[in-house]
A and B are shown apart, each in its own frame.
Chain A
Amino acid sequence: MRVGVLGIGKTPHKIQHGKSLRGLAVESGRAAISDAGLDPADIQALYVGNVGSVGFNYENSTGLMIAHHLGVVPAGSVRVEAACGTGAWALHLGCVAILSGLYDTVMVLGAEKMNDLATVEGTSIIAQAADSKEEYFSGLTFPSGVALTARKYMQTYGLTEEDLAHTSVKNHHYGARNPYAHLRFECTVEEVMRSAKVADPLKLYEVCPMTDASSALVLCREEILRDQPDKPQVYVTATQMATGTWYAATDTLDDAHALFAAPAERAYTMAGIAADDVDVAEIYNSFAIQEPLGIEGLGFAEKGKGWQGAADGSTWIDGEVGINLSGGLLCKGHPLGATGTTQAVDVVEQLRGTAPPDMQRRDAAIGVSACRGGPGAVGAIHVYQRLEG
């Protein structure tokens, strides 16, 4: 399969009290339409990834609202929701829409404005992405649910908190260089270890911030992009989704691996590549522990060894595969519905060669984005390739 990436756009990722949800969406949407060289009227369908506007902003019908303000009326528009995998699911539906042959040009747009509310309210809304009636009734939160996974990982593979802290150091190295990132500072292992406890063993520098942001892609039929050789020839060459466990209590480390490993295997087959071919990957890491788990699930390291690349350099910019050269969710923040679309935009920038200089992997030609959601519920893998000639 090949779906052309005709345009990309994103807003800064940060706390944006001066902007509305719709304002952020229009900002990224217009940037993507402009980058594609189109007019809003050329968009035939709009897939909006948004998780919590009902709770965060007291707004619903988000897809329709954004279609109106973006001026893509009368294109069909819909809001997509799949916990933290929302943006990736919107991208999947956009790809499927193009591949179906029904549409020539569609827009996929993620948007979330989380900072209209205090952290405690936001945490409670996010907890609804798990079973808030049952499991999270027990005082679990997303950080504490993932903390249980981190403890299991450390115990199973005999690791220390210092071992895992290298992941945050690497992310912050690149996040500090990303003008669109929410947290732009570097840190050391010692500073990670000293940062405030959130949910043992997770510490503040191993947890993403709540962020306001939007990002968007214009997708098109393969022929439309191929017929414009002056445009960067970046295509989505695989889109694969999976569902895993809905409860933290029943989510084993094997489940966590399978959530990415199963769709990744299908995606590599679909794209005709192997894990070794991948130059750059954006891997979901709202909590640092999810990066090594993702690295292992994607086949870049054996089980229990995904944390090593951040310590020995093999997942840095010149390593075997560049992981989260954007700073990851740890630095960009995690604007729920926009996270998957921002991952996609960041991978496309790498393949176009337009990432900021200190983040640009040399000659990146094959990229992967891996998004997940829920306690262990959503796995989403996309492969992107620069295909010249």
Chain B
Amino acid sequence: MTVSAIEFSRLGPPKLRLYAMRCANGHLSPWWEHHHCYQCGSDTLTEQELAGTGELSNYTVVYYPPRDFLGQEPYVVGHITMDEGVLMPAPVVGVAPEDVTVGTRVKATLRRMKLGHEGDIYYSQKFVVDKDAAAPEGQPS
């Protein structure tokens, strides 16, 4: 992967690892650039690696995508509550929209996110349905 200086500054650091920001008081915030904890205001933040598994807690199906997602519609994007408790906005790929629901178990996977100028390819975390996860109680696996 190459990252031009211009694209890098536009896009922020590439998200090759899945992490959250942990503040001095132990609160977790999503992975984007933070300068304070949203819960307590602490300005001491460090990265914490996440296991990569979680549950789809809210989602939508996009039929009119932005430029970088043209051709992928309809696609699922939503909020994933990671097992560590932090909320991640991310697409869920490799699954038909009708096959996901609130509560679907998902796991992170590194995928191409967008094509940049001059053929640059940007990778980041998307999610796929976690078929290894135990089915919720009361539902057939």
Give the B-binding residues of A (Cβ under 8 A).
Answer: 119-121, 123-124, 127, 131, 133-141, 143-144, 147-148, 151-152, 155, 196-202, 247-250
Contact = CB atoms under 8 A, between A and B. Distances in A.
B33 interface: yes
Interface residues on B, range: 35 or more
Contacts of A127: 66
B58 A141 contact: no
A139 B87 contact: no
**A-side interface mostly:** helix
Contacts of A147: 60
B117 interface: no
Contact of A141 (B33, B59, B62, B114): B62
Interface in B21-55: 30-33, 38
Contacts of A248: 89
Nearest to A196: B63
A259 to B, nearest CB: 16
Interface in B80-107: 87-91, 97, 102
A144 B11 contact: no
Contacts of A121: 67
Given A148-B58, A148-B60, A148-B79, A141 B65 contact: yes
A151 B97 CA distance: 15
B3 to A, nearest CB: 13
A155 B68 CA distance: 30
Contacts of A200: 60-61, 97
Contacts of B113: 137-138
Given A135-B32, A135-B89, A250-B30, A123 B79 contact: no
A92 B90 CA distance: 36
Contact of B67 (A124, A137, A249): A124
B7 to A, nearest CB: 11
B62 A249 contact: no
Name which of B32, B59, B72 has the most chain A CB atoms within 10 A of its CB.
B32
B19 interface: no
B30 A199 contact: no
9 contacts: A119-B64, A120-B64, A123-B64, A138-B77, A139-B72, A139-B91, A141-B66, A151-B59, A196-B63
A363 B105 CA distance: 56
A152 B124 contact: no
B12 A199 contact: no
A248 B77 CA distance: 12
Given A120-B65, A200-B97, A249-B79, 17 more contacts: A120-B66, A123-B64, A127-B66, A133-B11, A133-B32, A136-B66, A137-B124, A138-B90, A138-B124, A139-B77, A139-B91, A141-B65, A141-B66, A143-B64, A198-B63, A199-B63, A249-B30
Contacts of B69: 139
Contacts of B78: 148
B134 interface: no
Contacts of A155: 102
A225 to B, nearest CB: 44
A137 B11 contact: yes
B82 to A, nearest CB: 12
Contacts of B102: 155
Name which of A119, A124, A139, A144 has the most chain B CB atoms within 10 A of its CB.
A139
Contacts of A152: 58
B96 to A, nearest CB: 13
Contact of B77 (A131, A134, A144): A144
Name which of A123, A131, A141, A196 has the most chain B CB atoms within 10 A of its CB.
A141
Nearest to A123: B66
